[in-house]
Structure 1
Amino acid sequence: MSDSFEEPLGFDLGEPPQPQGEAYRVLARKYRPQTFAELIGQDAMVQTLGNAIRRGRLAHAFLLTGVRGVGKTSTARLIAKALNCIGPDGQGGPTIDPCGVCEPCRAIAEGRHIDVIEMDAASHTGVDDVREIIDASRYAAVSARFKIYIIDEVHMLSKNAFNALLKTLEEPPGHVKFLFATTEVNKVPVTVLSRCQRFDLRRIPADKLAEHFANVSAKEGVEAEPEALGLIARAAEGSARDGLSILDQAIAHAGQEGGGVRADAVRDMLGLSDRSATRDLFAILLAGDATGALASLRRQYDLGVDPLSVLRALLETVHGTTLVKLGAQVEQGQATEEREALAGWAAKLSFAALHRLWQLLLKAHEEVGRAALPIEACEMALLRLIHASTLPDPGELARMIAGGTMPAVNAPAQSASTPAAAPAEAALPATIQAIRDLLDRSGEQALGSKVYHSASVVHLAAPELVLSSARPLNADMVRDLNVELKRLTGRIWKVTTQDAPGAPTLRERDESEAQAKRAEILATPVVKAAFEAFPDAKIEDAEFDRIIANQRSEA
């Protein structure tokens, strides 16, 4: 038997270990700005820093504040590079445009420079942590021009830690710079704020974010619809990091779908309400169609849209309409359909109506956010909006009543100076009752019934009819009246609604007349004598109706 062991018998050792590929870096880290030119939306701060560096007027401590993801930590690292850059030839000085190729620039970018110390105040909150910084700051920098301490979320330091830092922060050694970053500047003691040069980093505008995301998508080799990038930019709420995270998710979703980043996919991914569906719902609400509004809300809910997202989209619509009414600049990338819809609503709605809509929707958003039954709460809120949003302001209504300026019941009386109607217009119905009679005679009893129950006239001068939207109004009635009156009269009618109190409806008029007739009947001597003899007697409604009908026929 041979002593050599030439090959294993029955053992499979498998494949040798393969080298691991480079780990994927998320877009928020991959596209972190490496120069001030790549820092978007913070032009004022960059200009101030550039002037300070060129003139040698460098503060010893900087405080960077702003919402999440606007570039506070990235800006701190860029300042560290700007102060310690030595240029490609090793002879450069502090500059607002660090070269990025010298050893200090590369080491700071990679987070390995010995003289640039980053500390997370969330996990180093105590006075002992600050004492280490104070002790180390006495020693000169090892290889850099300045020793720089970057303290992130500085507001989380304890009170004792802040107190320990005050003296060093006020009179630090010449080779030391402090860079603080925080999202909650109100929690930083005033004694610290007074010792720092403060920069408030702004939220990044949506159009600049969308442009940035388009560049990132192009570098990643991914096609993205402009509308999709606009949705992501709005969802990011001014934060580049949040937006890049959403874009990362959208690209992964597009890979599964086998296409680019599409607006409908982003909308589904974020659970956003479709803008066209929002416009339709808003139009239904303004028309006072309660049934249609609930059906539209349920359609969006069944597609997975959160009720809060629907209310938020409606709030954005009211806000956009108000801005258009004010003549503000139109948002870039806004669809033509949306622009036309906002312009139409801005022309029709008063500022008072828009403010009421805003307050009602804002209250609804708050209620639905803490409701046990969100969709039911949202439905009730929309019904409340339909019934309350278009009511006249109490003060305005009181002034109108006191001044006797309530709208006329039907068409205004023709004055002596008003020319008589042309013969071609003589056949046009001049009252809402005449319109209802015309519809009934032509077989349109259903539409005539809608007119009878809910048509409150603000103005009628055929062929123009303005109905009040100050009460629930069937959304289809206005459209159907335009069509049917044109068909029946041969003239093009303009039937619209207005946010103003109108005359009583035909039904309200008949009920008022019936009540007056009943009171008149009860006041007759014979009826009064009968009730005195029989106190428990009563006249049935049917008998009242019969008496009133007889009186009308005799008249």
Structure 2
Amino acid sequence: MEPFIVSARKYRPETFEDVVGQSAITKTLENAIESNHLAQALLFTGPRGVGKTTCARILAKKINQHNVEYDANEDFAFNIFELDAASNNSVDGIRELIAQVRIPPQVGKYKIYIIDEVHMLSSAAFNAFLKTLEEPPAHAIFILATTEKHKIIPTILSRCQIFDFKRITVSDMREHLKKIAIKEGIDADEEALQIIAQKADGALRDSLSIFDRVVSFSGKDLTVQAVTENLNVLDRDTYFSMTSLILENNIPQLLIDYDQIMVKGFDGQHFLSGLASHFRDLMVCKDERTIVLLELGESTKQKYLEQSRKTDLEFLKTAIEITNNADLKYRNSRNQRLLVELCLMQLASILLPESGEKKKPLTYILPAKTFENAVVAEPVVDKSNYSQQPEKQSDESIQETSTKVPAMNSVADLEDVPEPSTPNKTSEPSSKTDASSSEDQISLAEKRKALLQKGQKRVSSLSIQGMERKKEMLENQKDATTSSDRLPEKEFSQEELTMVWNKYADHLKERGDFILSSILGIDQPRLKGTTIHLKFPNASMKEDLEKDKGQILEYLKRELNNYLIDFEIEVDKTVTKKYIYTDQDKFNKLAEKNPAVDLLRRTFNLEF
């Protein structure tokens, strides 16, 4: 399988004629080369994806091709040096560049240095570059490219010939995408290409990236539906239909259609801004001389013309004002959906249904009786998962709950507890042959009767009956209690306690808790029953040990298999920590921890 090449690289222009939307700049550069009036330093500035780097590369090749014989396959790559200022923004990088500039070209007449994202250079690098940029060697030409001209210091700007690249128009971008679609064998709707061009926001590279993404989604058939679904944008038909409902004062259908827009995941502010732009386009169509301001296809322009004839200028001005006010308040609103719905209701209330006259207050909303006869198409709801007899189940559940005694979890639950009663046979639903009105009346009567029975058959916890029920409940709770398992209480010796104690102290030392480990080593624990007695020289050690008492006891209980162990800590200022200084002290400490060491000394008759 051949590797995929994105359209932005595959269809990158190779000549000035292929550059889209920058005819003024490309013509100027061609004339400068022909007349030998090319400056030694040029600055290409403009938004992203408009052809700055592309024009720089074409210019670099064309300079060396002028007035010389050259091979058609020769691209003079050895004469073109392209640097990224973002990764080479230090003074050292500029000094290396200056050192290379002094060397003349081996092939061709000029060496061209293209520095992309030049605004990323540091101030020191700019200052080091000043002299070379002002008086470079005759064989060197610098082409600087940036998206942020304001970040370049004025001394650099004054030494360059500046070319401002403009944003590419939607129509130029649409035509370019149409050519690429034909080359790729893709059947693309003009309106779909129009949406892609508008989404790119003046950047041709972005439009090509979007084009590739949508083609991957839809294949060889590029439709408006595929583009809107993939880019998650509202199509123009949505705004046309919403405007028609506004003109018809059909508020219910407006709210239902907006709910469907929200269900699809569109943002409310995106909808508001699109609706305001739609009103603006309708206003532009009110005068045939301004229709050229709409960068749209002919079929879409015709739709705008037809809808603009149904509106007047005052209506559009008021609609734009209401929509813009809602757009400004959207971010600070706590209930954003309600804000948009109020905006739609106000828009539908601009014109009175009968006379078509404009109502003065912007916040006016038509009363509900105005659209009582409005035709509303409700959204289709899938009811396959719902129960077939919800009303019957509801009545039965009410009847069951009225005859059952709720479970009591405490003595307080005895208050207002209904007595158990037998099901009422008269509360059964009527036969299927009865009319619906009689069924409703019977159902209502049954519910009222159940509620009356529920209120009449309550008992107070202070009554004799309530006290008997309380006693019965306590007996049931007493019988329900189960005896808990006894925890192990295995006996252990002083030696076992000392061994586990020292083991835990060593564990703390390995873990890095040297303070607690040293506190455990100050005094050996003394066992009395299941209580461990300790003596410390000051209260601070006692407090430190008591902070970790829980984890120490947990370890001892688990290792000694006795869960009755507890501490008793005494502060005795006469107790002092014994420090080890001599070899004899070290031996005594070792023998204290392991008596076998002293046995080894006596066996071999060893002495210090």
Alignment-derived partner of residue 381 in structure 2: none
Of the structure 1 ranges 133-142 and 352-361, higher mean CA displacement relative to structure 2 is found in 352-361
Alignment-derived partner of residue 6 in structure 1: none
Q: For the Cα contact (< 8 Å) 2:250–2:371, is it kept in 1?
A: no
The one of 223, 228, 236 aligned to 2:200 = 236
CA distance in 2, matches of 1:362, 1:164: 50
User: Which residue identity lines up with residue 17 of structure 2 in the other structure?
Assistant: A
| 1:132/1:367 CA distance change after superposition, 3 Å | farther
Alignment-derived partner of residue 172 in structure 2: 208
SS in 2 for 1:213: helix
1:207 is displaced (CA, Å) by 1.5
CA distance in 2, matches of 1:149, 1:337: 46
1:378 is displaced (CA, Å) by 3.6
* Unmatched segments (≥5 aa) in structure 1: 1-20, 93-98, 108-112, 392-453, 458-464, 482-555
| 1:271/1:59 CA distance change after superposition, 3 Å | same
Does 1 or 2 have the higher relative contact order (CA < 8 Å, sep 6+)? 1
Q: Pairwise mapping of residues 145-544 of structure 1 onto structure 2 (< 5 A)?
A: 145-255=109-219, 260-285=221-246, 289-326=250-287, 327-330=289-292, 331=294, 333-334=296-297, 336=299, 339-342=302-305, 344-345=307-308, 348-350=311-313, 354-368=316-330, 375-383=337-345, 390=350, 465-470=355-360, 471-473=364-366
1:23 is displaced (CA, Å) by 2.2
SS in 2 for 1:160: helix
Is residue 81 of structure 1 aligned with residue 61 of structure 2? yes
CA distance in 2, matches of 1:372, 1:220: 49
1:357 is displaced (CA, Å) by 3.6
Cα shift readout 1:236-272 (whole Å, capped 9, x = no counterpart): 12211111111101111113xxx51111110111111
Alignment-derived partner of residue 65 in structure 1: 45
Q: For the Cα contact (< 8 Å) 2:114–2:142, is it kept in 1?
A: yes
Q: Pairwise mapping of residues 6-155 of structure 1 onto structure 2 (< 5 A)?
A: 21-85=1-65, 91=69, 101-103=72-74, 105=75, 107=76, 113-155=77-119
Q: TM-score, with normalisation over the residues of structure 2?
A: 0.55
Max radius of gyration: which structure?
2
SS in 1 for 2:275: helix
| 1:282/1:187 CA distance change after superposition, 3 Å | farther
| 1:344/1:223 CA distance change after superposition, 3 Å | closer
CA distance in 2, matches of 1:337, 1:74: 33
Q: For the Cα contact (< 8 Å) 1:321–1:343, is it kept in 2?
A: no
CA distance in 1, matches of 2:132, 2:318: 55
Q: TM-score, with normalisation over the residues of structure 1?
A: 0.60
CA distance in 1, matches of 2:328, 2:52: 32
Of the structure 1 ranges 336-345 and 51-60, higher mean CA displacement relative to structure 2 is found in 336-345
| 1:215/1:354 CA distance change after superposition, 3 Å | same
1:373 is displaced (CA, Å) by 6.4
| 1:78/1:371 CA distance change after superposition, 3 Å | farther
| 1:144/1:365 CA distance change after superposition, 3 Å | farther
Q: For the Cα contact (< 8 Å) 2:45–2:165, is it kept in 1?
A: yes
1:226 is displaced (CA, Å) by 1.5
* Unmatched segments (≥5 aa) in structure 2: 375-608
Q: For the Cα contact (< 8 Å) 1:117–1:149, is it kept in 2?
A: yes
Q: For the Cα contact (< 8 Å) 1:119–1:152, is it kept in 2?
A: yes
| 1:364/1:62 CA distance change after superposition, 3 Å | farther
Alignment-derived partner of residue 518 in structure 1: none
Cα shift readout 1:367-408 (whole Å, capped 9, x = no counterpart): 446767654554355456667xx59xxxxxxxxxxxxxxxxx
User: Which residue identity lines up with residue 245 of structure 2 in the other structure?
Assistant: I
CA distance in 2, matches of 1:47, 1:248: 30
Alignment-derived partner of residue 552 in structure 1: none
Of the structure 1 ranges 63-72 and 284-293, higher mean CA displacement relative to structure 2 is found in 284-293
1:172 is displaced (CA, Å) by 1.2
Cα shift readout 1:320-343 (whole Å, capped 9, x = no counterpart): 123223431343653646634455
User: Which residue identity lines up with residue 159 of structure 2 in the other structure?
Assistant: R
Alignment-derived partner of residue 421 in structure 1: none
1:312 is displaced (CA, Å) by 2.9
Cα shift readout 1:465-508 (whole Å, capped 9, x = no counterpart): 44444443479969989xxxxxxxxxxxxxxxxxxxxxxxxxxx
CA distance in 2, matches of 1:366, 1:144: 59
User: Which residue identity lines up with residue 19 of structure 2 in the other structure?
Assistant: L
1:142 is displaced (CA, Å) by 2.8
CA distance in 2, matches of 1:286, 1:123: 57
1:187 is displaced (CA, Å) by 1.6
Q: For the Cα contact (< 8 Å) 1:214–1:229, is it kept in 2?
A: yes
User: Which residue identity lines up with residue 348 of structure 1 in the other structure?
Assistant: T
Cα shift readout 1:109-130 (whole Å, capped 9, x = no counterpart): xxxx232111111222222222
User: Which residue identity lines up with residue 312 of structure 1 in the other structure?
Assistant: S
CA distance in 1, matches of 2:201, 2:163: 20
Q: For the Cα contact (< 8 Å) 2:345–2:365, is it kept in 1?
A: no
| 1:476/1:202 CA distance change after superposition, 3 Å | farther
Cα shift readout 1:397-440 (whole Å, capped 9, x = no counterpart): xxxxxxxxxxxxxxxxxxxxxxxxxxxxxxxxxxxxxxxxxxxx
Q: For the Cα contact (< 8 Å) 2:177–2:193, is it kept in 1?
A: yes
Of the structure 1 ranges 327-336 and 307-316, higher mean CA displacement relative to structure 2 is found in 327-336
Q: For the Cα contact (< 8 Å) 1:209–1:240, is it kept in 2?
A: yes
Cα shift readout 1:144-203 (whole Å, capped 9, x = no counterpart): 321111111111111221122111111111111111111111222222112111111111
Alignment-derived partner of residue 407 in structure 1: none
- Number of residue equivalences: 369
1:102 is displaced (CA, Å) by 3.7
1:304 is displaced (CA, Å) by 3.3
SS in 2 for 1:179: strand
| 1:478/1:179 CA distance change after superposition, 3 Å | same
SS in 2 for 1:177: strand
| 1:383/1:151 CA distance change after superposition, 3 Å | farther
| 1:287/1:154 CA distance change after superposition, 3 Å | farther
CA distance in 1, matches of 2:298, 2:372: 25
Q: For the Cα contact (< 8 Å) 1:52–1:58, is it kept in 2?
A: yes
| 1:231/1:474 CA distance change after superposition, 3 Å | farther
| 1:179/1:479 CA distance change after superposition, 3 Å | farther
CA distance in 2, matches of 1:318, 1:466: 18
1:231 is displaced (CA, Å) by 1.2
1:349 is displaced (CA, Å) by 3.1
